[in-house]
Chain A
Amino acid sequence: MLLIRHLVLPVHRTVPWGQVGAAGAVGLLLAALTRTGESAERLSLYLLRAAILVFALGLAFLLDDPARHTTATVPTRRPVRLALRVALAVPAAAAWWLVALLLVPPDVRPPVADLTLEAGAAFVLAVAGGAAVVRFSELTRPGRSLAAGLLTTSVLAMLFWPGRWALFVPVEDERWGAAHDRWAVLLAVAVILGALCTVEPLRRRVRP
């Protein structure tokens, strides 16, 4: 416990708060757009989803750590360090999400619990993706390519995701419930994937 307390400050200093904060600000801007008029209110679900995507893009930078190669040998293992980093980000993400929800007028706010599930899945997916890149590559800053990949994937998914396993459904759609079961599965898969990827590999793959 003492170790964790000593680690909090150094880890906090390596977290790219600037990127996460900038993404959060843009996300809140999108959420605030729902207060700009009649047509904006009809778009509230889509604006909130866009805000979620934007903040997830910011979280893709969470595991950027220029010092990762120098800290690979410290006694505290990587799962602990990454968990600490994520634990620092969780309150920030929760606060951000609360503010984003409060920015949407209450009468046009989509079902909060279900949308929180979507947000959670997107955020965890972004961080798990970062963990996967860190686990399988030597990159110190995976954020940039991860954000591009996340964005491309989400645009393609919105365009071409098969209707049978619909994820992005409007509120009045009858598949809303089933879609959120799928979101829960996605969240679980992302959590497991992220947890598996935090382990420091025993051997470093040497590039020829």
Chain B
Amino acid sequence: MTALTTEPAVSATRQEPGGPWKAVFALALFESRRLLTRVPVLMAFAVYIGWTVWRGGKEGDGFPALQDVDRATQGAPMLIGLAVLLSVNHAAVRSQRHGTEQLLTVLVLPLWRRTVAHALSVVAAALLTAVCVAAQFGREALRPGAVGHGSVGELLVGPLTVLLFGLFGLLVAGLVRSALVAPLLVVLLLFLFVFFSGLGYEARWLLPAVEDATPNTLPSDLLGRPAAWHALYLTGLALTLGLLAVLLAGGRRPAVFAGVAGALAMTLTGGVAQSAGDSPELLRARERATVHPEQVQSCVRRDGSTYCAFPEWGPRVADWAGVVNRVRSLAGGDAHEQDIVVRQRIEARYGLDGDSALTPLERPHQVTVGTRWGGNRVPEFSAAVAGVLIAGDEKAATSICDGRIIPLMWLAVGWESDPLDALRRVRLNDTLTGSDSVLQPTDGLYMTEAHTEVLRALLDLPRGEAGARVKDRWDELTAPKVTAARAAGLLGLPAPEGDDKCS
């Protein structure tokens, strides 16, 4: 007797709750791990992190302005982007290279879903870059001397560059299935960037990272960089490339078409908006901040002196006040008690590219301070304060050309822990002998060979002794037209032998 089975045959495939997307995420996880452990990517990350850590302490001499720091995070991730481009491209043609394409087509994931997984692995690399950028920015932002505001748009550029390059590599892998394309592309991209960075102001915003390598630090509202629009443009461009790659791999779904259209719209919006140029309001605000800074600044009084700074530089008043007090403590006569006005000034009319010098102030007892601090900026400011204490106003101080420069420079560097080092740094050619110019926030001073000799002799004395001699003879030393030889005689130092003629 034969028994018939009545059970219906069950379908061999079961519908998992997550569907194919679960498999896509699993594959994305695998591809991410693989991508992040490729030799070029590992090396790029090692070089990038090493370079960033090594450079870290040098940015802004320990007193960074965060609106500059965010921009400084943009260039280096391009290296990671190029490595990711290379590796993603290789990963995407891996199955074709090993002849396993036919085997993979019997699995649940068609080519376009595998492409999505590759795209997600690029996102993982971009996220890792974002962590690095955040760490770099956070490290600078946590410094006690940090001022200003960073911009999210600027910080996003680094990770978005990685995303853009990676997805471009993926798209190219769909177009040309050759192992040679990616290396050639990397070289081409490298040189196209060199090429296009020489373009005009608006066109350069089409590149991923737009660097303004400038010594000029401006308040964050005067920068005039369309950072948010640029981030939108990069996001749109990256999404377009990624979705086109999916489309090319066979993912012809309405959602993908809609996504491409949306991403293109984003790119166009961002691209048009970012190249609008400086708005009239911005130009007016820059003009006002340059010509009438008092209208936007707030002033605080400390120990009798007034400090007027742009709102973002409020925390730095304490540093300025410390220098002013030390300089005043070395002065004799009326200057010891003289209250001054420290006015922060910028030249913002030409934007970040402009690097024009500030003109000296003519109002009595007003001193200019710039937007940067730390390093050489400290003795420069110190010299400007000393000049105003001696000559009465900045205009008169910058035209001093006689023996008064000796007490002036003593006030400027005498309080430093290493006066000779400060003197060397504040002089234009980093010299300690002979004649040289002295840098200041506005116009410079000029020291003759004789002035330098007397000042060096004064600095060689014990600090208390030198300070007492300067204070004893303050009125004679700061009288106009005093010669270097006379100043040396007043201070009880040997007469200088060098030339004492201003040029």
Binding site for B on A (CB under 8 A): 19, 22-23, 26, 30, 33, 39-40, 43, 46-47, 50, 53-54, 57-58, 61, 141, 143-144, 147-152, 155-156, 159-160
Across the interface, do A152 and B180 meet the contact criterion of CB distance under 8 Å?
no
Q: Which residue of B lies closest to A29 (CB)?
A: B188
Across the interface, do B187 and A57 meet the contact criterion of CB distance under 8 Å?
yes
Q: Mark B67-99, 1 if CB is under 8 A from A, else 0.
A: 000000000000100110010001000000100
Chain B residues closer than 8 Å to A57, beta-carbon distance: 180, 183-184, 187
Chain A residues closer than 8 Å to B82, beta-carbon distance: 155
Q: Is the interface of A mostly helix, strand, loop or mixed?
A: helix
Chain B residues closer than 8 Å to A19, beta-carbon distance: 178, 180
Across the interface, do B183 and A148 meet the contact criterion of CB distance under 8 Å?
yes
In the assembly, what is the distance between CA of A150 and CA of B187, in Å? Answer: 12
Across the interface, do A61 and B180 meet the contact criterion of CB distance under 8 Å?
yes
Binding site for A on B (CB under 8 A): 39-40, 43, 47, 79, 82-83, 86, 90, 97, 178-180, 182-184, 186-188, 190-191, 194-195, 198
Please give the distance in Å from A105's CB to the nearest CB on chain B.
17
In the assembly, what is the distance between CA of A144 and CA of B178, in Å? Answer: 9
Known: A23-B184, A50-B187. 11 other contacts (CB 8 A): A22-B178, A26-B188, A30-B191, A40-B195, A43-B195, A54-B187, A57-B184, A143-B179, A148-B86, A150-B183, A151-B187
In the assembly, what is the distance between CA of A61 and CA of B97, in Å? Answer: 14
A47 touching B183 in the complex, CB below 8 Å, given contacts A22-B178, A144-B97: no
In the assembly, what is the distance between CA of A22 and CA of B187, in Å? Answer: 14
Q: Which residue of A lies closest to B82 (CB)?
A: A155
Chain A residues closer than 8 Å to B47, beta-carbon distance: 156, 159-160
A23 touching B191 in the complex, CB below 8 Å, given contacts A39-B198, A148-B90: no
Q: Which of A33, A143, A156, A159 contacts B180 (CB 8 A)?
A: A143
Chain B residues closer than 8 Å to A144, beta-carbon distance: 90, 97, 179-180
Chain B residues closer than 8 Å to A46, beta-carbon distance: 191, 194
In the assembly, what is the distance between CA of A151 and CA of B43, in Å? Answer: 12
Across the interface, do B179 and A147 meet the contact criterion of CB distance under 8 Å?
yes
Chain A residues closer than 8 Å to B187, beta-carbon distance: 26, 30, 50, 53-54, 57, 151
Chain B residues closer than 8 Å to A22, beta-carbon distance: 178, 180, 184
Across the interface, do A151 and B186 meet the contact criterion of CB distance under 8 Å?
yes
Across the interface, do B184 and A54 meet the contact criterion of CB distance under 8 Å?
yes
In the assembly, what is the distance between CA of A173 and CA of B309, in Å? Answer: 45
In the assembly, what is the distance between CA of A163 and CA of B188, in Å? Answer: 26
Chain B residues closer than 8 Å to A26, beta-carbon distance: 184, 187-188
Across the interface, do A147 and B180 meet the contact criterion of CB distance under 8 Å?
yes
Please give the distance in Å from B384's CB to the nearest CB on chain A.
37
27 contacts between A and B (CB under 8 A): A30-B188, A30-B191, A39-B198, A40-B195, A43-B194, A43-B195, A50-B190, A54-B187, A54-B188, A57-B183, A57-B184, A57-B187, A58-B180, A141-B179, A144-B97, A144-B179, A147-B179, A148-B39, A148-B90, A150-B183, A151-B40, A151-B86, A151-B186, A152-B43, A152-B83, A155-B82, A156-B47
